[in-house]
Amino acid sequence: MVTKRDGKENPRKSRNKMKTPILSLGSSLIAAGMAGAPPVTAQPENHPNVILIITDDQGYGDLGFTGNPHVKTPYIDRLAAESIRFNNFYVSPVSAPTRSSLMTGRYSLRTGVRDTNNGGAIMATEEITIAEVLKKAGYTTGQFGKWHLGDNYPFRPLDQGFDESLMHLGGGMGQPGDITTYFRGDSSYFNPVLWHNGLRKSYSGYCSDIFTYCARYPVLHEDERKLVARCKRIFGEW
């Protein structure tokens, strides 16, 4: 499918083969949606992995590498030490507008996202996302965890440039918008029903573990069949 913007083809709809994966993480538990990509071959040195971790309800000072003496975050600290750090940034008061700005590089109201409820968290399908831009550079893209920029076609991650997606619905698991886990109440975080590439599937385990594990296999240099088989064995159908 190709959409138009100002009479021109929207490059967001091109489906180029990716050379290396991009991960974008986002979950209402560990952050605001976790993203990743399908298994690929060994990556060339000039195409590093790109990992975006978006966290809900976490302040700048809630990490070890930013100086918190009490909260221990050794893995994120290591990621910060080995990565490029941007120390000057701006966010919106709530998650969905912030996420739309990060996905597009545009002021959230220009993307159609203004809030987290009452229809305010649906990003315009015409927006060109970072996933679509990276695809043009040869990347394979994926999203794991919280999306909350539109649960239905044509607003899903798969419609916005991501090759792979494992997500829950709405703004959080167990919330009214997540119709597949809402009626489970306090147990919604465990053995959840999630949406893999637009299809509803059941998984075993704790939701953050599922998102994290399944999102990391694209960047590992191992036999992809063993990794996928292990993911299925631990968490259920993939």
Q: Which range marks the domain in which residue 120 is found?
A: 16-235
Single out the residue of 18, 4, 219, 5 nearest to residue 134, CA to CA.
18
> Is the residue at 140 inside a domain?
yes
Torsion of CA 201, 203, 207, 209, to 10 degrees: -130
How far from 158 is each of 19, 110, 136, 165, 186, CA to CA, in Å? Answer: 18, 21, 16, 7, 29
Q: Is 113 exposed, middle or buried (0-12, 13-18, 19+ CB in 10 A)?
A: buried
> Is the residue at 63 inside a domain?
yes
Number of domains making up the chain: 1
- The mean pLDDT value for 198-224 works out to 78
> Is the residue at 1 inside a domain?
no
> Is the residue at 9 inside a domain?
no
Could you give the CA distance from residue 43 to residue 88 in angstroms, rounded to a whole number?
30
pLDDT (tens digit per residue) in 113-157: 999 988 899 999 999 999 999 888 888 888 999 999 999 999 999
> Is the residue at 124 inside a domain?
yes
pLDDT (tens digit per residue) in 7-65: 444 444 433 344 444 444 444 222 222 333 344 444 445 777 788 888 877 888 899 99
> Is the residue at 46 inside a domain?
yes
Structure tokens at 188: 């919604």
Which pLDDT score, from 0 to 100, does residue 228 have?
Answer: 61
Average pLDDT over the chain, rounded to an integer: 77
Which pLDDT score, from 0 to 100, does residue 150 have?
Answer: 95
> Is the residue at 102 inside a domain?
yes
pTM: 0.74
> Is the residue at 33 inside a domain?
yes
pLDDT (tens digit per residue) in 160-171: 999 889 999 999
